[in-house]
Amino acid sequence: MKWLITGAAGMVGSDLRDALTMRGEDVVALTKSDLDITDSRRVNAMIGEEKPSVVVNCAGYTRVDEAESNEGLANAINGSSVELLAQAAKGVGALLVHISSDFVFDGRKHSPYEINDITAALSAYGRSKLLGEIAATHAERHVILRTSWLFGHNGPNFVDAIRKQIHKGTNPLRVVNDQRGRPTYTPHLAEAIIRIANLDAHGMIHYADEPECTWYDFACAIVEELGAEVTVKPVSTEDFPRPATRPAYSVLSTERYERLTGVRPESWREGLREYLSN
């Protein structure tokens, strides 16, 4: 099986590339400089030339707050470009695996979001990811893989933000305690992508590490793993106004992933421990 990865320099793309390379798989790993996914000519030429079995779209506009004032750009990268990838994948009979987000939900539920729950994005970023989900369905064979609260080695993430605050001497750390989700270590997500693609699954799937927690809970775990002598103070979202509205509750149900693969999601706490040890 031949794999083509877009966004291969990012957190998910780089971990997926590494996981596939370790397996001896045939991988074409494309960074932004290798392939601008908004360029239809280049997308068609690259996929037409490489003829992959699987296209995994790990590229995306991820600056959530900046998307509020750059919605057109976010839509072009997270929405329109996915249409280009979908059509090109369809042209060579490839499976398109498109990475989406918990931000497509409004956070008003109090139980985990199922794959068929109604979407209602609260932010420009969330709306752009919804456009991408719709576009991905234009590939004859497609998987839309929603995930949440990513942390890994090749991109900005919450773990590094907390660690930087500790190194700066910030004490106490003030962290939001009224947003709940499921942190996900990107090497765990990479393994989930490989399992799903090897099963030749289709449609919507959720993957996130276990268990659910708040950002405050996550920060407390980071402090504990680092052995840092700082206090973590729980605060409300209102205490941290941001341009983009976050869903208060975005826990993803991984029931379909577990049913398809026969595997439970990994522990984000174990992922955190591994991440901090490297």
What residue type is assigned to position 238 of the chain?
E
Tell me what pLDDT residue 131 has.
98
Q: Which of 61, 113, 125, 216 is catalytic?
A: 125
Pair of tokens at residue 205:
């799937």
Given this model, what pLDDT does residue 142 score?
98
Q: What is the pTM of this model?
A: 0.96
CA dist., res. 150 & res. 162, Å (int)? 14
- Is 125 known to be catalytic? yes
| 159-205 pLDDT, tens digit each | 999 999 999 999 999 999 999 999 999 999 999 999 999 998 999 99
Q: Sketch out the chain's domains with CATH numbers.
A: 2-156+184-208+252-266 (3.40.50.720)
pLDDT in tens, 114-154: 999 999 999 999 999 999 999 999 999 999 999 999 999 99
